[in-house]
Structures are given as C-alpha cells and as structure tokens.
Amino acid sequence: QVQVVESGGGLVQAGGSLRLSCTVSGLTFDDYPMGWFRQAPGKEREDVSCISWRGSGGYYSDSMKGRFTISRDNAKNTLYLQITSLNPEDTAMYYCATDTRKYGYCPDTLARFTYRGQGTQVTVSS
C-alpha cells in the first residue's frame, strides 16, 4: 500500500522561507517521478513542480521558477520543496503526488498521478 505523507508547512511572514518534505512508502522511491501541487481555498489546484525518477526537475509555470526548488533524496525516500520569498499568494495546502508507472517522466499535469498525500498547510502573513 502506497502512503504519501507531507510535512513542513506552517505560518510564516512574507519574505520568509520554508522547506516542505514528503515521505513515500510502499514503492521503490527511486523508480518513480514525484511532484508538488497546491490548492488554495476557493481556487483551482495549481501544479508547482515535478521531478523525474532520474532527478530532472521542472516547473509548471514561469512564476514558479526561481522561488521554488524541488529535490529528492532517494536514500531517505523523501521529496522536498524549498520555497523562498514567500508571499500571501503562496498560502495554500501543498500536496505531494506520485504515479504508478515506474521510470515515468513528468506529465503535463500532476492530475494524472495516482497517489497523493493529505497535504501540509502553508500560510503566509503580510
């Protein structure tokens, strides 16, 4: 059974930074692509970033580049998302997701991924 657990969210002031973590069990972590998406109340989900099983990371919009950094530590079965220069528009629940396809690459939308966690809340105060 695949389990996805996010952590690291919290309340931060604008301009601050956070590092979100996601641990995945129930599959061979190294072999799967992983991604982050977010959803704010009343808004559509927004894909943030994805990293392939080979470790190639990408971002779903230009606005995500620069402030968001995705990485993975296969030895710890953990995915990370570093966010800097936080602003109130970043307030959302952040979710980690992964897929059932081994050696898959990042899709055009993380909605294609099968597994996701319960999310970790990020709240940015102005």
Question: Residue 64: its pLDDT value, please?
Answer: 84
Question: Residue 65: its pLDDT value, please?
Answer: 83
Report the b/e string of 47-59 with b at 16+ CB within 10 A.
Answer: bbbbbbbeeebeb
pLDDT(105) > 90: no
List, for residues 108-119, the tens digit of each pLDDT value.
Answer: 999 999 999 999
Instruction: Report the pLDDT averaged over residues 100-111.
Output: 90
CA separation for the pair 14, 83 (Å, rounded): 12
